[in-house]
Amino acid sequence: MATRNDTNEQTKAADEAARTTRTVTDEAARVGEQAARAGADVARRGAETARDTFQAGLNTVSENFQRMADQFTNVLGFHGPEAEELARRSSQNIQALTEAGSVLARGAQEVSQEVFGFVQERARKNADAVNQIARVRSVHDFVAVQSDLARDHLEQVIEVNKRVAETSLRIAEEAARVIQAQANRRLRAA
């Protein structure tokens, strides 16, 4: 009878410990998820600010190049049709650079959104992982859950890196097409 009571008490203690562990892990997961969301939001806002700053810088550079081209034509004494042609070419080149810069800024934002999505998904999966680990009853189960989690994490990292590389390549090709289109227009006009 004492053995049965001891077993009952041990079972109750184990159940209570499991409930306490679940409560603690649920709370830790909730707090971790909130922290990840807050971090992702801060990073997203930072990326938007960087994109806006980059765009403003491109606009400033474009305006400065235009002023320099105007001053250059005045200093070299270009007048009439030659000055107009030089100004037109300079303006078109600056426009192409500005468009390419905009494409690159948009690409940087797409890449940052991909990374932020990864961070959020990883936080969710980590919270789920904590719950899975809290439910294990043996070392064997713990090792199995841990190896599944590690494999899943590695697969997710590889997939995100693949998407970031594809996005980067697509954006670089798009920016190159903008600049190449300007060069082709200039060649056709010549």
pLDDT tens string 163-177: 999 999 999 899 889
How buried is residue 158: exposed, middle or buried, by Cβ count under 10 Å (0-12/13-18/19+)? exposed
Q: What is the mean pLDDT of residues 82-105?
A: 80
Greatest CA separation for the chain: 112
Residue 120 has pLDDT above 60, yes or no: yes
The DSSP H or E segment spanning 108 is helix 80-135
Spatial CA neighbour of 157 closest among 129, 130, 188, 118: 118
C-beta of residue 134 within 8 angstroms of C-beta of residue 25: yes
Render pLDDT for 33-90 as a digit per residue (tens, 0 to 9).
666 666 666 666 766 766 676 666 667 766 766 676 666 666 666 666 776 777 777 7
